[in-house]
Structure 1
Amino acid sequence: MGLVFKWSLRLFMLLSALAGLALMAVYYLASRSLVDYNADYTVPAISGQVEIIRNNSGVPHIFADADEDVYFGLGFAHAQDRLWQMTMLRRTAQGRLSELFGERTLNIDKLIRRLDLYGLAQRSLSAQDADTIAALEAYSAGVNAWLRTVNQDALGRGAPEFFVFSPQIAPWQPADSIAVIKIMGLQLSGHLEEEVIRARASLLLPTERLRDLLPDTPGPGIAALDYAGLMQGLDLPRYAANTSAPKDPLSPFPEHGLAGASNAFAAAPERSAAGGTLLANDPHLGLSAPSIWYLARLDLSSGGVIGGTIPGMPVVLTGRSDKVGWGLTTAYVDDQDVLIEKLNPDNPEEYLTPDGYKPFKTAQSIIEIKDAQSQTLTLRWTDNGPILPDTHYNLGTITPLGHEAALSWTLLTDKDTSIQAALRLMRASSAEEVIAAAAEYIAPAQNLTIVDQNGIALKTIGHIPRRNPAHQSQGRIPSPGWLAQNRWLGVMPYASNPEFQRPAGGILGNTNNKVIERPFPDHVSYTYGDTQRVQRWRRLMLNRQVHTRDSFVEAQLDTVSFTARSLLPLIAADLWFTGEAAPEGTPERQRQRALELMAQWNGEMSEHLPEPLIYAAWLRALQSRLIRDELGPLETEFTHVEPLFIERVFRNADNAAVWCDVLQSAPVETCTDISRQALDDALVWLSEKYGTAIESWRWGDAHEATHDHQVLGSVPLLSVFVNIRQSTSGGDNTLLRGRTSGKGPEPFQNVHAAGYRGVYDFGDPDSSLFVMSTGQSGHPLSRHYDDLGVLWRRGEYIPMSLDPELARAGAVGTITLVPSGE
């Protein structure tokens, strides 16, 4: 027995030693790619010395005599800190994920290839002017200079992920940067899925009930549409099962309700305590580790520019110079239409047009797949756009037999000058020059909030489709592509895009809300990303005669839910303080205690309170009870509460209270019955998940921000090191927006929020504030992997100045690039 124990101990010690050595080897290899922020490099393709000065947060300030050398320095810095992220963005745009991940990502690659995003980016190079080409080439040279340095100095393949996946990295090309913009446009698109869901719902509901469930954004608009009427005589499924596969973390295609959001607001000098214009901006995208955003300062010949960049592009997308500041919010322009194409029954390679049958434009594309045979994909296009597969966006549920779905989309152009517009914008010196520069911007459509030293402005930028006044569905639902009136007539002139300059009230802003009301076909959209946050923003702006940097920060971080304040009095009107006393431990007592807490709650979605959790679970259960008997499988597509729907039902607008009656039951349920049952559903679910002590529940336990690594975040053990999880306040409808996942066992996880926040005060420019949701580095071993995320979670910021002396004085590292003369 002693001998067995002795050898078992020796074996354990040996295995422990081997494991320790393996961990040391892994750490050594991974740490080789940590960036030395104090180093000198001799590199080709620059005309003079370049300095990359990083501050204590790892933010680079890039100085050079020539603009092209500054762009080179940004490419070098991006590649140092985010090489894996950049290569993944490029692979996604190229439809080449399956080369690394096998059949798991095959459907993603297939759809990307059908959209031809990378081909469009390559062909768009010919549309750029000489300055833009020079900037793209210099940026690419900077990226490639770092790749060469990694290879020459054996710097751990540039990122730890390349030890797990293929280390082969193709040189960066100018078209790659344009392709990154295409991917961002894809992530911010939502009207395609909205059309499909509206069509599916119209097959199940009468017109007036469809208007309840999918209401137009308040203001005059058209009523709901009848998809079956447009497709008369065709066999359309009603209770069709969903055809789309669950979303992969690597997929760039947004889920319903997660197609982008943001806040931006500005104050004119007369509304600013310091006498200068004010601007705040926090763009919202899906959370990840690292964040999609990267802070940087560029010292251009036209002046310094500082703010948020996206690795892969040589532009500051949101930020300021010493003369102007600009912020972005998704405009929700209706820039996508699904056209149902009719196949020739005698020749399926032809489709019907207004002039008769016409052959598809086709091409072959080979997809290489790890550990599997490659596949050859036949790509097809019509005059309206690419043909999409039935397996995406649930198109199979609304496409009749003998037909295919095509997509018209402003992003699908091979003359995309969006990056050219962004580069010109950085050199603008006034709001008027910014608006003029943005005329060349194509997609994704954005609301651009602008301040200069004298005033404020807001302009919708990007192409808005021009539709025929006789369009059958006005772009609301898929329509027959063979009818001329349903086809686009080009795009609207840029001058007709909504524009507001120097308003009399001195305040401008956008929270993805409706900005203008115009009749079809001059409209912008019928549905927007927000009808709620704007109400709270308006109140905060009107509460003060003058604003300060701190009041803008306060608004940016506001956690009060206008939605909760407006809906709770409706859904609980007959439940407050009613019923007989109930003993502890009974469902009735649990409900009474929850209602007591809710009656005293002010609507603040604080991570430390139980009330936001009760409210969110109650509303989620309530909407499910209202719609699941009418919608069948389609109910699972409504993952987030639609406040206007709940309000219409409980106000009985146009007899909307009929939603409260359960169709399959004999009794006639009232809205009070459904509300009480939904609250009980929520309390049972919460008690099972968090225990029965209501006072111990915390919204932050459910509303964790999920900054997950897209690739390694689901790997056991590794996920502990690469994922960043934080308890957060806010919610779906607060200015401090933390959009919940809406599905799965953790439906309230914060998955979509402000990855970047900036507040700029032109009365005291050096006091401008910035922060991002993780850190500058994409390397899990770097202290800059998550250091800014700690500040972000607490609602804190870092100052960023355009003063070169301040940058040098606060430097913690300086990289000097010297030309090699090659």
Structure 2
Amino acid sequence: MTQFSQSVPECKTLTYEKKGKFDQVEIVWNDKDVPRIRADNYESLGFGYGYAHARDRLIELVGQAIAMRGQRSRYYGPEAFSTLGFLKTTNLNSDLMFKLRVPNEWVKEEFERLNRETQDYIFGYVNGLNYFVDHLSETQYQQIVGQEPMVRFEVDDVVRFTMRFGVMKELIEIGPHLVATANCINTSTPTDRVSFHRTPVEVEGGFGSNAWAYGGDVVEGGSAILLGNPHSAWQRNSHQLRIYMHQCHLTIPGVLDVAGTTFLGFPLPLTGYNADVSWSILDAATVTPYVMQLMDVKLEQDSIKYLVDGDYQSATIRSIEIETLQESGDITIQSYQFAQSHLGTLFQLPRTPNKPPGWYAITNPGERNAKGLDQFLSAAKARSTREFIEQIEQYRGVLCQLVIADKHGDVGYVVAGNVPPITDEAMASAHLGVEGVAFNVLDGSQTKNSFRDQNQRPLQAATSFYPNIISRGIIHNTNNSYKYSEFGQQQPDYPSVFGQHKQQRTLAAARLDYDPRLIMSYKRMQEISLNGKINALQALEVVFDNRNYAAETFLDWILTLESHDCSTTAKQAFQVLANWDRRNNADSRGALLFHQLWSKLVQAKLVKVTGFGDPEVDSEISTTPQSQKVILAALEQSIAELKQLNFALDTAWGSVLYQAAENQHVAMHGGSYEQGILNGEMPAELTHDGFDYILFGTAYLQLTQWQHGMICPQVLLADGQRDGVDSKARTCQLQMFLDKKLYSMPFSPPALGEHQDYR
């Protein structure tokens, strides 16, 4: 942290000029650094939030703008690695990806397609960002910006921030092969750097979320309860542009009143609430958002041709220019050429376990789409779960899942992004027909398999194609598919693009090999449903009890592997594990040793989820004699690791998992998805000082319920509102996290009137 703030309530009135008129914008920050912005129209409201957002997260937003413009190579060099959202690759791969898949002409077209009120809001937001920068003193500029690059924000930046949601996951497939693809087209493309860029894209462990919505039939009083638990990163630097939550409260009297958290430069609450509805966002981890079409391509000396319905067509060439920082400090422009077919760019991809090598096109109905801005602005005004889902469907844009609850007791689930409108039968008909090849790898040489309209735009699915759920029971989601999102009810089968429970493999959050969170959630839903109606305290305990599914399920058997002739340290380790409470609380002793051990068992593929997404089917551990030897060896290795780092076998979990605040350590709790801990905190590498940092996990919590018809939100943003600023608000919330407490956020008029910070 570079600065310290006392975080006392603060109020600021801005004057926003537009077309010769002057609007007043009021911003009030409470003692947790959360801004409430009040204005009379959308443009002024956007201006106020732009100002408040820049005050707290300026350098993060600059980094997002640079990345989405495809300019990281210009500022940081092409070969350095960076994390964008949750995907790690080289700057050059990132730049090529966004230049190719979010081109400037699409960005401008998409802005013009937005609703007028959305355009006004974005225009004001960008002006607010720039206004903040323009009014910094020289000293303030040095404190906040220092040696980091600075840009002038544009409306196009916000549109790019939104369009990225539709194409981001393509980076996993094509990112490491973009430079090699260009080399095939133009042999003058620099080849000495290809090896860096061929490094597979790393999906950072821990990216995911949880959400629970309890409907009126299971909640006292008939209204619903929602616990939103979207996971985010805890640490930012110029090469780690992960997901970081920022709280806000946006008000236009009589028109809009919404609060919640934004992230990734998207300037509207993606997890949030209004007076009548509350919602939480989750990664659509099981959704397959695009198809890959294998093309028959012929490279000739002066042309590139591809086969369509028996005839070879000539591809055109598209040049992408990348500004590149050289070691000398000079900026040069390098050009990369890509072949264009009627299906878009052609990518040369190597063989993988689920697809053959060759040239591929991608048909993605989520491309060329910024409607997510209309989507969340419209949904923010919904008055019921049903109306919220209708608005999400009308402006389908952001690829995610949403869990919703309302004051009337209805809860719901909806996929918010676009998916290929392809039934399983149509997908099978278009498939390559090769055993072991992924179900969405198709024969691109036939027009019938293009799944595009007469203008070669990807086909869009009808509303009826999507698996919405509205219930008065329980909705729970841990990045699983729709199929098991309603507790106690299996949904009818929808096409496989929505979930892989029908396949012989499952897609899990962050591409994890083993993620039993849904099984643990199902177990907890069974338990809390037994005793009648569910209350808010029970809902919060589902996250904060820190129960370890892997330990509850498998530790008793592991303890039977202790033999009479095992080493003294192994006996001590078995004793520590036997005495452990099988939770990942800050004071839990044994959690650290188990964490080190369990990661090795997962890596050795000794544990697996066998139910293909069905939470009623428990996971399994291999108990063969050979597996037992592997487990004992993994235990000995874990003991040695802790000894080398000077940690006792029974070191308290919170002494290695912690956050620094005001020159002191605040213990944390929670743990790995791979252990089925619902309070997910995925730690980075263990060092002599503890875990280096938290990759992703619980930072923001949103617990909403209605009492006497009024919403009563309780929230927490434990990692703080302000990037690079240590504050009393952050320290307070870290301590509240340790104490497993949330704070009441005033929202309704009576609550605002009673709260001194908002008077």
TM-score range, shorter chain: 0.7 to 0.9
Corresponding position of 2:669:
728
Deviation at residue 62 of structure 1 after TM alignment: 1.5
Q: Does 1:533 align with 2:517?
A: yes
Corresponding position of 2:143:
160
Q: Which amino acid aligns with 2:152?
A: A
Name the CA shift for 1:261/1:811 in 2 (closer, same or farther; >3 Å): same
Q: Does 1:357 align with 2:312?
A: yes
- How far, CA to CA, are the matches of 2:38 and 2:74 in structure 1? 38
Kindly name which structure, 1 or 2, has the bigger radius of gyration based on alpha carbons.
1
Q: Which runs of 5+ in 2 are unaligned?
A: 81-90, 177-193, 238-242, 453-458, 484-490, 501-505, 510-514
How many matched pairs?
Answer: 675
- How far, CA to CA, are the matches of 2:618 and 2:524 in structure 1? 30
Q: Give the structure with the larger helix fraction.
A: 1
Deviation at residue 559 of structure 1 after TM alignment: 1.0
Q: Which amino acid aligns with 2:461?
A: M
- How far, CA to CA, are the matches of 1:100 and 1:35 in structure 2? 36
Q: Does the 8 Å contact 1:458/1:500 carry over to 2?
A: yes
Q: Which amino acid aligns with 1:320?
A: Y
Q: Which amino acid aligns with 1:513?
A: N
- How far, CA to CA, are the matches of 1:57 and 1:726 in structure 2? 20
Q: Does the 8 Å contact 2:746/2:755 carry over to 1?
A: no
Deviation at residue 376 of structure 1 after TM alignment: 1.8
Structure with more relative contact order (C-alpha pairs < 8 Å, separation 6 or more): 1
Q: Does the 8 Å contact 1:399/1:405 carry over to 2?
A: no
Deviation at residue 43 of structure 1 after TM alignment: 3.2
Out of 418, 421, 445, the position equivalent to 1:482 is: 445
Report the more deviating stretch, 427-436 or 106-115: 106-115
Q: Which amino acid aligns with 2:149?
A: S
Deviation at residue 192 of structure 1 after TM alignment: 4.6
Deviation at residue 625 of structure 1 after TM alignment: 4.5
Deviation at residue 623 of structure 1 after TM alignment: 4.1
Deviation at residue 769 of structure 1 after TM alignment: 0.7
Corresponding position of 1:698:
652
Q: Does the 8 Å contact 2:403/2:475 carry over to 1?
A: no
- How far, CA to CA, are the matches of 1:451 and 1:76 in structure 2? 31
Deviation at residue 318 of structure 1 after TM alignment: 1.3
- How far, CA to CA, are the matches of 2:618 and 2:391 in structure 1? 48
Identity between Structure 1 and Structure 2 (%): 17
Q: Does the 8 Å contact 1:771/1:797 carry over to 2?
A: yes
Superposition TM-score, scaled by structure 1 size = 0.72
Superposed CA offset, 1:407-432 (max 9, x none): 433432x2431111111001111222
- Determine helix, strand or coil for the equivalent of 2:280: strand
Deviation at residue 51 of structure 1 after TM alignment: 0.9
Q: How does 1:425-464 map to 2 (within 5 A)?
A: 425-439=379-393, 440-464=395-419
Q: How does 1:642-653 map to 2 (within 5 A)?
A: 644=610
Name the CA shift for 1:124/1:176 in 2 (closer, same or farther; >3 Å): same
Q: Does the 8 Å contact 1:779/1:785 carry over to 2?
A: no
Out of 548, 561, 564, the position equivalent to 1:579 is: 564
Q: How does 1:151-300 map to 2 (within 5 A)?
A: 154=138, 156-157=140-141, 160=143, 162-167=145-150, 169-173=151-155, 175-184=156-165, 189=169, 192=172, 255=203, 257-258=205-206, 260-289=207-236, 292-300=244-252
Superposed CA offset, 1:37-75 (max 9, x none): 444444312653221111111111112233432222112
Deviation at residue 321 of structure 1 after TM alignment: 0.8
Q: Does the 8 Å contact 1:289/1:724 carry over to 2?
A: no
Q: How does 1:301-316 map to 2 (within 5 A)?
A: 301-310=254-263, 312-316=265-269
Superposition TM-score, scaled by structure 2 size = 0.78
Corresponding position of 2:486:
none
Q: Which amino acid aligns with 2:218?
A: R
Q: Which amino acid aligns with 1:337?
A: V
Report the more deviating stretch, 50-59 or 757-766: 757-766
Deviation at residue 327 of structure 1 after TM alignment: 1.5
Q: Which amino acid aligns with 1:179?
A: R
Give the RMSD, CA atoms, in angstroms: 4.2
Q: Does the 8 Å contact 2:235/2:693 carry over to 1?
A: no
Corresponding position of 1:672:
628
Superposed CA offset, 1:507-527 (max 9, x none): 222111232266674551213
Q: Does 1:321 align with 2:274?
A: yes
- Determine helix, strand or coil for the equivalent of 2:725: coil
Corresponding position of 1:75:
50
- How far, CA to CA, are the matches of 1:407 and 1:137 in structure 2? 32
Out of 307, 310, 330, the position equivalent to 2:283 is: 330
- How far, CA to CA, are the matches of 1:50 and 1:67 in structure 2? 11
Corresponding position of 2:594:
615
Q: Which amino acid aligns with 1:465?
A: P
- How far, CA to CA, are the matches of 1:645 and 1:273 in structure 2? 33
Q: Which amino acid aligns with 1:730?
A: G
Q: Does 1:798 align with 2:746?
A: no
Q: Does 1:378 align with 2:364?
A: no
Q: Does 1:106 align with 2:92?
A: yes
Q: Which amino acid aligns with 2:444?
A: G
Q: Which runs of 5+ in 1 are unaligned?
A: 1-25, 197-240, 248-252, 581-586, 628-640, 661-668, 708-719, 815-822
Q: Which amino acid aligns with 1:605?
A: N
- How far, CA to CA, are the matches of 2:143 and 2:316 in structure 1? 42
- How far, CA to CA, are the matches of 1:672 and 1:144 in structure 2? 61
Name the CA shift for 1:568/1:311 in 2 (closer, same or farther; >3 Å): closer
Corresponding position of 1:688:
644
- How far, CA to CA, are the matches of 2:699 and 2:448 in structure 1? 41
Deviation at residue 501 of structure 1 after TM alignment: 1.4
Superposed CA offset, 1:582-602 (max 9, x none): xxxxx6222223223334545
Name the CA shift for 1:798/1:193 in 2 (closer, same or farther; >3 Å): farther
Q: Does the 8 Å contact 2:9/2:29 carry over to 1?
A: no
- How far, CA to CA, are the matches of 1:533 and 1:180 in structure 2? 30
Superposed CA offset, 1:442-490 (max 9, x none): 2313233232434222222221213323242684475553355764463
Corresponding position of 1:202:
none
Report the more deviating stretch, 512-521 or 334-343: 512-521
Q: Does the 8 Å contact 1:766/1:800 carry over to 2?
A: no
Deviation at residue 434 of structure 1 after TM alignment: 0.7
- How far, CA to CA, are the matches of 1:74 and 1:528 in structure 2? 37
- Determine helix, strand or coil for the equivalent of 1:686: helix
- How far, CA to CA, are the matches of 1:744 and 1:520 in structure 2? 46
Name the CA shift for 1:479/1:339 in 2 (closer, same or farther; >3 Å): same
Superposed CA offset, 1:324-374 (max 9, x none): 111222232111334443421435633333453333343323222232422
Q: Does 1:493 align with 2:456?
A: no
Name the CA shift for 1:277/1:85 in 2 (closer, same or farther; >3 Å): same
Name the CA shift for 1:271/1:315 in 2 (closer, same or farther; >3 Å): same
